[in-house]
Structure 1
C-alpha cells in the first residue's frame, strides 16, 4: 500500500479487525489521547495491530518505540514517521 498518511480512522479499522472492541468503548469517540489499556487493548491485541499495520503499509515498526506508543495519537505519529522515512528513502 502506498499510503502517504496513517490516520485515526485507519487505526480504528485495524484495531477492530485485529482485536475487536470492548462493548463499553466507543472507538468513534475522541480516543486519540486515551491509553490503549483504557480502551481495552492489551499487549497481545496491540502486537496483532502492529503486525497488520506493518503488512498493510509496508513498514517495520521498532519494537521499543511501538511499546512506548501508549495512545492512538502516539501510534499514529510513529507510523507516520515511518511512512515519511520510507518516502524519503
Structure 2
C-alpha cells in the first residue's frame, strides 16, 4: 500500500475512537506534544492502534507503541509499516 498516514488521519481516528478533551485544540500544532498532554492515555492509544491496524491492514509493534509518545512518532511508526521493505 502506498498511501501515507497523515496527521489528519490520526486526528480523525483519535476522534472516532476516543473523542477529544475539551481543553485540547487538535487543530493546533500538536505533532510534538505528548499524547497524554492531548488527553489520550494508554487505553485510548490501544483503541487508536487497533483502528489504524484494521483500516490500513497493518500490524503495529506493541513494544514500539508503548514508547510512542507524540503524534509525530505514531505517524512515523504507521508509515514505516506502510512502506514496502527493501528486503522483501
TM-score bin, normalised by smaller chain: over 0.9
Task: Tell me the TM-score normalized by structure 2.
Answer: 0.93
Runs of 4+ residues over 3 Å off in structure 1: none
C-alpha separation in 1, matches of 2:63 and 2:11: 22
Task: Tell me the TM-score normalized by structure 1.
Answer: 0.92
Aligned-CA RMSD value: 1.6
Q: How does 1:4-83 map to 2 (within 5 A)?
A: 4-83=3-82
Structure richer in helix, relative to its length: 1
C-alpha separation in 2, matches of 1:23 and 1:3: 34
Gaps of 5+ in 2: none
Aligned length: 88
SS at match of 1:85: coil
Question: Structure 1's 25 and 3: CA in aligned 2 closer, same or farther, altered over 3 A?
Answer: farther
For each residue in 1:28-57, what CA deviation from the matched residue of structure 2 results, as whole angstroms up to 9, or x when unmatched?
110000000000101001100000000000
